[in-house]
Amino acid sequence: MEDSGTPFGRVSNRFALSLKMEYTPMARTRKNTVAPASIQLDWSGIEADLNAGRKVSLSVLAKAFNVFPIDLRKIFQNRFGDRIVFKRGRTGGIYWKTSAGAAVKQPTVRVTQMTPTPAPVAPVAPMPVAAKA
Tens-place pLDDT, residues 33-50:
788 888 888 999 999 999
CA–CA separation, 24 and 20 (whole Å): 6
Residues of the chain with CATH 1.10.10: 42-105
In CATH terms, 42-105 corresponds, of 1.10.8, 1.10.10, 1.10.1220, 1.20.120, to 1.10.10
CA–CA separation, 25 and 28 (whole Å): 9
pLDDT tens column, 57-74: 999 998 888 888 899 999
**Overall average pLDDT of the 101-130 stretch:** 62
DSSP state of 114: -
Beta-carbon-side half-sphere exposure of residue 105 (alpha carbons within 13 Å): 7
CA–CA separation, 84 and 72 (whole Å): 13
CA–CA separation, 41 and 62 (whole Å): 11
Query: 0.85 exceeded by the pTM?
Result: no
